[in-house]
């Protein structure tokens, strides 16, 4: 068993070999690059669904605006004060830093977990795009409570889209990434223009004098759709905060911020959060209200902006599923001995395509986003504790690296133990990660301190 893990870890090391060394000073990037990167990354297909779900969950307009303002602020501060400082001090990716802390065996487990989570996320993006194609072929979009595919037409469309996205990811990932950069400003405009065009349908006057009245009575009127929980200010605040939990508190974005000149570059994440995770969510909320609260991103965009809107949903799904598929393939490479790149992407794409035909992946997207962050969050707590707290307490750092451990069993116990505790916490799913983070932080420090005393 240990031999197998060692072989997997060695293969994984070869994969990430190119970024083993800390980033050199001449490769650091300007703040503008970070602003552009964040602005382009956070207007995705899922934005069509998330903002619309807030309406269906009966959020009030005031709770939405203040929840998003403060929640996104907390997300920006998490990038600035949690992720970026560690990144500029170590200049390493999470992969290599975690390897020093938790051992190569645990990085293998982390990679596999990440790959599965990426596949589900890409599946949700394909499903969102499928609603646009379904509109053209008159295939009914599944309803909010559907778990399994509702028609052969839906299965066929998701399979056809999944196959097309996978084929394109195999044929030219880099070219598609460049095309995605061209798409992202336009997709943002589709959100803005779509919402603006829907306002007259909702009864908003040209001088905006009754906008707030319409917003509070016809859009975010506090009435949840049948079968949907009612969400409050705190739910929205926490959702906006944890939406990218794996990236900031979970420290995945060490890979990005290791190129930052200063830790304060974390503040540039605001360029992604406020346009993407505030304005775009508000716009999709307006669009869903104008189509009679029907959760169908394709229909919302078509009613708002015609065929360009349909293309917007399709492209938003495609351009965001593409890098997600690539990352899933990269993470899966660890368990696919000597497979060429195309074969791994094909495997990830097949898994993603199968997942995408189950409507639950996008009908329960808000819960999935919460689970995604929750699963990877304890790793962020472990790295944070190792980086900042252990030296303060005089506890030896990086033991896994120094003593050549395959797995830091304390880190593994903290990761899974935290998840088990979070599962049983008697609070709403959205709030569980915060106590979970603190539990992971304290538990890891205590376990490491016990080892110190034993020594």
Partner 1 sequence: MQRILFGILSMVSLALCLVFSIAYFLGKIKADRFKSGFLFASIAWFIFATLWATRTKKLSKT
Question: How big is the site for partner 1, counted in residues (CB under 8 A)?
Answer: 21
Answer yes or no whether residue 37 interacts with partner 1 by CB under 8 A. Answer: no
Tell me which of 307, 403, 416, 423 binds partner 1, using CB under 8 A.
307
- Specify the residue, 68 or 180, whose C-beta has the smaller distance to partner 1: 180
The yes or no reply on residue 202 touching partner 1 (CB under 8 A) is no
Nearer to partner 1, 190 or 374 (CB): 190
Looking at beta carbons only, is 300 or 422 nearer to partner 1? 300
For residues 126 and 33, give the distance between their C-alpha atoms in angstroms, rounded to a whole number. 28
Q: How far is the CB of 129 from partner 1 (least distance, A)?
A: 17
Work out how close the CB of 199 gets to partner 1 at its nearest, in angstroms, rounded to a whole number: 6
Using CB under 8 A, which of 171, 182, 446, 450 touches partner 1? Answer: 182
Minimum CB distance to partner 1, residue 190 (Å) = 8
Q: Which stretch binds partner 1 (CB under 8 A): 136-144, 197-205, 374-382, 391-399?
A: 197-205
Query: Which one among 70, 156, 159, 186 touches partner 1, defined by CB under 8 A?
Result: 186
Our finding on whether 173 is near partner 1 (CB under 8 A) is no
**Least distance (Å) from partner 1 to the CB of residue 186?**
5
- Each residue 230-269 as x (binds partner 1 by CB under 8 A) or -, in order, gives ----------------------------------------
Q: Using CB under 8 A, which of 39, 49, 245, 311 touches partner 1?
A: 311
Q: Does 308 bind partner 1 (CB under 8 A)?
A: yes
Least distance in angstroms from the C-beta of 91 to partner 1: 24
As a whole number of Å, the end-to-end CA separation of the chain is 28
Smallest gap from residue 60 Cβ to partner 1 (A): 24
* 3 state SS for the chain: CHHHHHHHHHHHHHHCHHHCCCCCHHHCECHHHHHHHHHHHCCCCHHHHHHHHHHHECCEHHHHHHHHHHHHHHHHHHHHHHHHHHHHHHCCCHHHHHHHHHCHHHHHHHHHHHHHHHHHHHHHHHHHHHHHHHHHCCCCCCCCCCCCCCCHHHHHHHHHHHHHHHHHHHHHHHHHHHHHHHHHHHHHHHHHHHHHHHHHHHCCCCCCCCHHHHHHHHHCECCECCCCCCCCHHHHHHHHHHCCCCCCCCCCCHHHHCCECCHHHHHHHHHHHHHHHHHHHHHHHHHHHHCCCCCCHHHHHHHHHHHHHHHHHHHHHHHHHHHHHHHHHHHHHHHCCCCCHHHHHHHHHHHHHHHHCCCHHHHCHHHHHHHHHHHHHHHHHHHHHHHHHHHHCCCCCCHHHHCCCCCCHHHHHHHHHHHHHHHHCCCCHHHCHHHHHHHHHHHHHHHHHHHHHHC
Is 144:366 a contact under the CB 8 Å cutoff? no
Question: Residue 60 phi/psi, 5° resolution?
Answer: -85, 160
Q: Which of 160, 189, 225, 354 binds partner 1 (CB under 8 A)?
A: 189
Q: Give residue 222's region: left, alpha or beta (phi > 0; psi -120 to 50).
A: left
Q: Binding segment for partner 1 among 163-171, 175-183, 246-254, 277-285 (CB under 8 A)?
A: 175-183
- Stretch of residues binding partner 1 (CB under 8 A), selected from 10-18, 79-87, 196-204, 289-297: 196-204
Whole-angstrom Cα distance, residue 230 to residue 63? Answer: 12
Residue 199 binds partner 1 (CB under 8 A): yes
59, 305, 382, 390: which one contacts partner 1 (CB under 8 A)? Answer: 305
CB of 33 to partner 1, least distance (A): 13
Closest distance to partner 1 from the beta carbon of 301 (Å)? 11
Nearer CB in complex with partner 1: 183/369: 183
User: How near is the Cβ of 208 to partner 1 at its closest, in Å?
Assistant: 10
Residue 286, beta-bridge partner list: none
- Candidates 172, 200, 203, 391; binder of partner 1 (CB under 8 A) is 200
Q: How far is the CB of 171 from partner 1 (least distance, A)?
A: 18
Return residues touching partner 1 (CB under 8 A): 178-179, 181-182, 185-186, 189-190, 192-194, 196-197, 199-200, 206, 305-308, 311
């Amino acid at each position: 068993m240990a031999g197998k893990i060692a072989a997997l870890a060695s293969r994984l090391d070869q994969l990430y070999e190119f970024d083993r060394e800390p980033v050199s000073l001449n490769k650091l990037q300007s703040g503008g690059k970070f602003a552009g990167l964040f602005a382009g990354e956070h207007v995705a297909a899922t934005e069509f669904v998330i903002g619309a779900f807030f309406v269906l969950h009966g959020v009030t307009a005031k709770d939405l605006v203040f929840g998003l303002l403060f929640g996104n602020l907390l997300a920006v501060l998490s990038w600035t004060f949690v992720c970026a400082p560690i990144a500029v001090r170590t200049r390493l990716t999470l992969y290599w830093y975690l390897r020093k802390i938790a051992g190569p065996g645990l990085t293998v487990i982390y990679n596999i977990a990440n790959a599965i989570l990426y596949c589900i996320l890409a599946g949700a993006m394909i499903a969102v795009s499928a609603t646009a194609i379904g509109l053209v072929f008159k295939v009914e979009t599944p309803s909010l409570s559907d778990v399994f595919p509702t028609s052969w037409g839906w299965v066929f469309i998701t399979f056809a889209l999944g196959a097309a996205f996978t084929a394109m990811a195999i044929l030219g990932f880099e070219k598609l990434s460049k095309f995605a950069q061209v798409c992202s400003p336009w997709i943002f405009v589709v959100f803005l223009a779509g919402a603006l065009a829907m306002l007259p349908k909702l009864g908003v006057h040209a001088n905006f004098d009754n906008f707030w009245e319409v917003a509070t009575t016809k859009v975010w009127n506090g009435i949840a759709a049948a079968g949907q929980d009612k969400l409050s200010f705190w739910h929205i605040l926490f959702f906006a905060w944890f939406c990218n939990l794996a990236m900031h508190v979970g420290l995945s974005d060490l890979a990005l911020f290791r190129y930052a000149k200063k830790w304060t570059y974390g503040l540039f994440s605001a360029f992604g959060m406020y346009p993407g995770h505030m304005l775009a969510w508000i716009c999709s909320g307006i669009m869903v209200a104008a189509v009679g609260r029907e959760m169908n991103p394709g229909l919302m965009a078509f009613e708002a902006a015609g065929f360009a809107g349909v293309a917007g949903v399709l492209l938003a799904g495609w351009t965001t599923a593409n890098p997600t598929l690539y990352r899933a393939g990269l993470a899966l490479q660890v368990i696919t001995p000597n497979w060429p790149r195309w074969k791994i992407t094909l495997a990830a794409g097949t898994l993603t395509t199968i997942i995408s035909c189950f409507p639950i992946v996008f009908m329960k997207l808000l819960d999935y986003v919460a689970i995604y962050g929750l699963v990877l969050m304890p790793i962020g707590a472990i790295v944070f504790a190792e980086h900042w707290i252990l030296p303060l307490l005089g506890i030896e750092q990086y033991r896994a690296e120094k003593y050549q451990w395959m797995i830091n069993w304390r880190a593994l116990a903290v990761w899974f133990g935290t998840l088990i505790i979070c599962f049983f916490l008697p609070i709403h799913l959205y709030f569980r990660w915060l106590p979970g983070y603190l539990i992971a932080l304290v538990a890891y420090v205590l376990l490491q301190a016990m080892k110190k005393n034993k020594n």
